[in-house]
Amino acid sequence: MAKLFEKEIGILIDDEPIGNELQLYECGFEECRPTKPYEFIPIDYWVLHYCIDGEGYFQIRDKQNHIHPGDLFMIPPHTKNKYFPMPSNPWSYRWIGIKGTLAKRILHTCGLSSEHYILHHKVDSRLEHLFETVYDDLKSQHKLKALGVTIQLLDYIQHNVYNNEKDELTSSELYFNQAIHFIHKNYFNNISIADIATAANIDRTYMYKLFQKYTKQSPSQYLQQYRLEKANILLRKSPLNITDVSYAVGFQNPPYFTKLYTQYWGITPSEYRKGFLLQDNND
């Protein structure tokens, strides 16, 4: 197979931002070898990859996804992940990494978030050209131009990738997305599985099958996990006591919250908070 790039890999990093709303922090390309090991990158920014050729695997939150040519996949900040090429058909991809106060909101308009991090698409010469242009402009030290093309790239994804994918969703995906949306907007309330099913306009049995298909969990397990993840944020960033944290994320019985939290994370909520306080003091 002919080489796609002159070099196997190219990486550019710009750690001197023009502003704090949206920053092009890095961009690059890579033509992976079949034997390349998996990567794990703990980052504090958003990285969006576009698979140009070949295949690979992207794993996040213990869920492995098969990536094909044309697909986009995103690594959210501070999220455990790994990805690696298929040995028999190793992938090549381009990527951009962005930061800023508006980055999360802009990516959400493109259908990308911490919960939805893959867009299935086709090989798209226009999209590839935009990724390539971002790299070339930054390499030439045209930082404003590179940022402008980054915005064009995200606009293209919003209108020509995400909107097309929405149009092609199956009925089961639409019902599942409605259920997930309801949970994310109402997890802090005393909602029941019946409430979620009603919001998605499906019965409980069908909803259970959808969650098993897309998350390998029951709806109640997904809801509990989501609440416990939100509890961690409050334990780190708020002055609320443990009882108030439990109510704030939708648990009506604080002792049950502590028991469930300890079973799920392996430490108590107090121990988790204490660990972050000690880390902050050491810093």
The CA–CA distances, whole Å, from 128 to 34, 107, 170, 221 equal 22, 18, 27, 39
Structure tokens at 189: 């309330």
If DSSP codes are grouped into helix, strand and coil, which group holds residue 7?
Answer: coil
Sign of CA dihedral 85, 123, 119, 95: positive
Structure tokens at 23: 């920053």
| pLDDT for the residue 125 | 85
CATH 1.10.3720.10 is held by the domain 171-282: no
Q: In what order do the strands lie in the sheet containing 118-119?
A: 9-13, 23-31, 92-99, 46-53, 72-75, 118-119
| pLDDT for the residue 94 | 96
CATH 1.10.10.60 positions along the chain are: 171-282
> Residues 231, 261: contact at Cβ < 8 Å?
yes
Structure tokens at 194: 């019946």
Which amino acid is located at 139 in the chain?
Answer: K
If DSSP codes are grouped into helix, strand and coil, which group holds residue 138?
Answer: helix
Q: In this structure, which CATH number among 2.40.160.20, 1.10.1740.10, 2.60.120.280, 3.30.70.270 belongs to the domain 9-167? A: 2.60.120.280
Residues of the chain with pLDDT under 50: 1-4, 280-281, 283
| pLDDT for the residue 279 | 52
| pLDDT for the residue 37 | 66
- Cβ-based neighbours of 133, under 8 Å, separated by 6 or more: 149
CATH 2.60.120.280 positions along the chain are: 9-167
